[in-house]
Homo-oligomer: A and B are copies of this chain.
Amino acid sequence: MRDLDNSATYHLDSRLLRADLKNLPGWYERLGETYPSPHTVEGYGEGWWAAALAHDWMPASMPISGTHFVLQGGFPLGRGAVAELLEQVFEGRLVRFGQSEEVDLTITPHPLSTYRYLMSLLWATGRFDEAARVERAMGEALQELHIDQPTDKNPAKQLAWRLVERTPIWVVSESYTQLAAAAQQLFARIAGSLSVAPPPGALEFYATALEARHEQGDPLIAVIVGEDAYTRLATEVLASRVDAVVHMPASSGGGVLAETLVRWYELAWSAYYLSLLYDRDPVDAEVLTRLRENL
């Protein structure tokens, strides 16, 4: 295994993802314009999680007036056409973030783009204080997570070591909206690794899905992110069913959105370190670029 505290290890990172990770707090477009309310939002591809988070305060369904945001990341698969149709009947403003000819704000495909979608959306809807809280909390978290922070003081490096040659099952506090699926995506895109997010009704799933596992090979590790009644019960249920349980304690302050993004940021760094431990360049598969060109 590579040594995460030796700078030579990082030569493997050919596209300098470590720089993108380090520069992430603050790396987004501050739109000069606040769009008229009411605001609604939908997202797909890389934009799905930013939209899911925003649904805690902005609905998905279009109003008659105001502004409807479309976060159209990744593979459109015809969904761009729906937005175009809507544009013809909608009396308000339709604002698109993503990558294509007709977008209002270009956000290039990237494993960390979900942050940029979210922050630009906060600015476009006048939520500057919320954006500042998220940015500050992530900047503080960064001090513990970056490559110069040695393993014994770096929770992301420590988590990466625990995940080596295990398949993670994400157990996420209910206040962190859909972070389990976002984690599943981060570990695929950055570490090339498979992990399991539970369906809704997760407790029943944890209690039953691992019963026939003795037939199978991979050791599983439950990663508990945050703490509430649900994660406590899930930990109890999973303890005897998986190879290991690891806790990521709840972070402090900044409100629930900032906390959610900090947990996501920690997981992104862990995925980065895990990729290096697997002796693998932490970049997207080239197949993604090829797929995009063919669509």
Interface residues of A in 122-138 (CB under 8 A from B): none
**Which residues does chain B contribute within 8 Å of A198, judged by CB atoms?**
184
A285 to B215, CA, bound (A): 17
Is A193's CB under 8 angstroms from B212's CB?
yes
Is B200's CB under 8 angstroms from A49's CB?
yes
> C-beta contact mask, A222-248 vs B, less than 8 Å → 1, else 0?
000000011001000100000000000
Selected interface stretch from A151-159, A202-210, A254-262: A202-210
- Closest CB of chain B to A267's CB: distance in Å? 13
Given contacts A196-B194, A218-B217, contact A207 B288 (CB under 8 A): yes
A218 to B77, CA, bound (A): 31
A188 to B184, CA, bound (A): 19
A61 part of interface (Cβ distance < 8 Å): yes
Give chain A's interface residue range (CB within 8 Å of chain B): 35 or more
- Closest CB of chain B to A222's CB: distance in Å? 12
Given contacts A182-B199, A211-B192, A285-B208, contact A77 B217 (CB under 8 A): no
Q: Output the residue of A185, A187, A204, A229 with the most chain B CB within 10 A.
A: A204
A291 part of interface (Cβ distance < 8 Å): yes
Is B203's CB under 8 angstroms from A75's CB?
yes
**Which residues does chain B contribute within 8 Å of A87, judged by CB atoms?**
none
A78 part of interface (Cβ distance < 8 Å): yes
Known interface pairs A45-B201, A218-B218; 14 further A-B residue pairs with C-beta atoms within 8 A, sorted by A's residue number: A46-B201, A74-B201, A77-B233, A184-B205, A185-B205, A189-B205, A191-B212, A192-B209, A194-B213, A196-B196, A204-B288, A211-B280, A212-B278, A215-B278
